[in-house]
């Protein structure tokens, strides 16, 4: 079963839905497939207070529902389904949905996002939205004058620890190795911050708390004869061990960086393949915010419309 469309959007977070809004208003009749997590990773966030237009804040799920309704209002065709295969090196582009249906499209906007890496502790799922977070910029505000922990030893972990130190009473930085992997300037800033205590050669092995995170179980020198177990009292537990862009299906077709993020033409959502655009976290290893993702979704839709117009499609 084949279908031909002018604009296909893969992914349904802020980037995908915003691209659908703009593409619909440009009369591109976009079709959007939501993937395995309709609404994207923002649906796992409880309160969103930094998205413009919501002065009282809004839950991540409600925000995504609002964007979806807005896209639908303008005529976007939003469907359940997951992309299982792609051929972007042909015209029109061919995208297979759920291993069965093939969509042929003049343009493709990729907005599949990126997934935060977790330690794999059962407690991370147990306390999701109740003290466990993978974004200090998103959720740090809720921990003003409280105690938090950040897991990681690279630049991102140090940046998040420093950011949280500006809000929280105390920040523990839990580092597996006996040193920080961060750049020298970030190491210095972290070590010189009086609110940050670095726990070197430590692993977080569990969390505890009644109605949310109240503390973490820590093991120092794990697996050695010097192994030592202790607990820290915290209100928030932040993961800063990296993100994995959802790009496996595009390997060998698009240019990806060493981590897997889609490489685009600087300042644009254009990939090296004409008619294929990338928006949101799938092409953004730096900001990873809902508002920047939405902005890049707008850009991708505008570029798709220009591409079609220039070719009379």
Spell out the residues 6+ positions from residue 238 whose beta carbon is closer than 8 angstroms to its own: 133, 134, 135, 136, 139, 148, 149, 150, 151, 160, 164
- Catalytic residue check, 7: no
Spell out the residues 6+ positions from residue 268 whose beta carbon is closer than 8 angstroms to its own: 299, 303
Q: Determine which one of 138, 235, 281, 284 is catalytic.
A: 138
- Catalytic residue check, 135: yes
Q: Determine which one of 7, 106, 123, 139 is catalytic.
A: 139
Q: Determine which one of 135, 202, 235, 281 is catalytic.
A: 135
- Catalytic residue check, 98: no
Annotated active-site positions, please?
A: 135, 138-139
């Amino acid at each position: 079963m084949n279908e031909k469309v002018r604009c296909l959007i893969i992914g349904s977070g802020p980037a995908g839905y915003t691209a659908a809004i703009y593409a619909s208003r440009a009369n591109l009749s976009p079709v959007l497939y939501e993937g395995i997590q309709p609404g994207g990773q923002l649906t796992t966030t409880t309160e969103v207070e930094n998205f413009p237009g919501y002065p009282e804040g809004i839950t991540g799920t409600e925000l995504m529902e609002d964007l979806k309704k807005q896209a639908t209002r303008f005529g976007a065709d939003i469907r359940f389904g997951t992309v299982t295969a792609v051929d972007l090196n042909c015209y029109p582009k061919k995208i297979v949905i759920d291993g069965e249906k093939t969509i042929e499209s003049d343009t493709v906007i990729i907005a599949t996002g990126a997934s935060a890496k977790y330690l794999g502790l059962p407690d991370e799922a147990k306390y999701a939205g109740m003290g466990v977070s993978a974004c200090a910029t998103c959720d740090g505000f809720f921990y003003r004058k409280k105690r938090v922990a950040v897991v990681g030893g690279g630049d991102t972990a140090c940046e998040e620890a420093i950011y949280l130190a500006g809000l929280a009473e105390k920040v523990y930085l839990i580092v597996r190795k006996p040193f920080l992997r961060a750049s020298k300037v970030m190491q210095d800033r972290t070590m010189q911050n009086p609110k940050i205590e670095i726990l070197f050669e430590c692993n977080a092995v569990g969390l505890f708390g009644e109605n949310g995170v109240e503390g973490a179980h820590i093991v120092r020198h794990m697996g050695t004869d010097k192994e030592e177990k202790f607990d820290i009292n915290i209100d928030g537990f932040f993961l800063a061990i990296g993100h994995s862009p959802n790009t496996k299906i595009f390997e060998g077709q698009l240019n990806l960086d060493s981590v897997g993020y889609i490489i685009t033409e600087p300042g644009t959502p254009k990939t090296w393949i004409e008619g294929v655009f990338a928006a949101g976290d799938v092409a953004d290893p730096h900001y990873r915010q809902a508002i920047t993702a939405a902005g890049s979704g707008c850009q991708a839709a505008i570029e798709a419309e220009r591409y079609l117009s220039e070719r009379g499609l």
